[in-house]
Structures are given as structure tokens and as C-alpha cells.
Amino acid sequence: MITDVLLRFLFLEVEAANYMLLKQKAKDYAQELTHLIKSALGGAGSKMPFAGLLGTVSNFFGGKGKKNHNDIVKRLFELGHTTDQVVNSILALLVGATVEMSLSMFFEFLVIEAILTM
């Protein structure tokens, strides 16, 4: 639901009558996700328990083996990024990954439908 609203607002044309409502929902959901990501960072940015979330996203793409997603966040902090910048980067990665997942699931659906109609 959250990513659906964000995707529709960011990437699809919206009817003028629905624009303001969708914009407010997208803003609210983005703030909610930002808060959750900040909470997962533990405030100071030293502990990153949301690595499982990034791992789950990467597993949708067929990722094999265990990757240490904490390294991504650790590196962002080492490069001097603020907590807000890291949160925004993670949010952008999650939204972008959701687009990719949606497309891959759509094409998988098309392939299955084509096979079943043969």
C-alpha cells in the first residue's frame, strides 16, 4: 500500500481531481518510512538493524549468498553523509527497488500467462 501510493505519485500520470489527495498520502507515507528508517539506524547511525530489509529486497532479485548490507550504510557515514542523507538514500533505494520488483513480477505474470494460453 505504501509503495503503491509512492509509485503512483512519482511515476504515473494522475488525474487532476486525485492529485492533491495522492500528493498528501505520498507525503505522509514518505514521512512514515523516513521515521522507520531513522529508528532502524538507532539515531547515531552506528548500528544498522535494517540490513534484513535490504537483504529481503535484494533476495527478490535472485541475490545469492549472504551480503553485508551494513557495509553500504557504514560507507555512507564514512563518506561524511549525515543521518538525513543516509535515510534519504535508503528511501530512494527502497522505492527504486520496488519499481524493479513490480516490473519483474509483471513480466513474470506475462510469461506465465503466455505459457498457459499455449
Q: What are the pLDDT digits (tens) for 82-105?
A: 988 988 888 888 877 777 777 777
Report whether 94 contacts 102 (CB < 8 A).
Answer: no
- Closest by alpha carbon to 99, among 7, 2, 1, 16? 7
Task: Report yes or no on whether pTM surpasses 0.75.
Answer: no
Report H helices in 70-82: 70-78
Q: pLDDT grade, residue 12 (50/70/90)?
A: confident
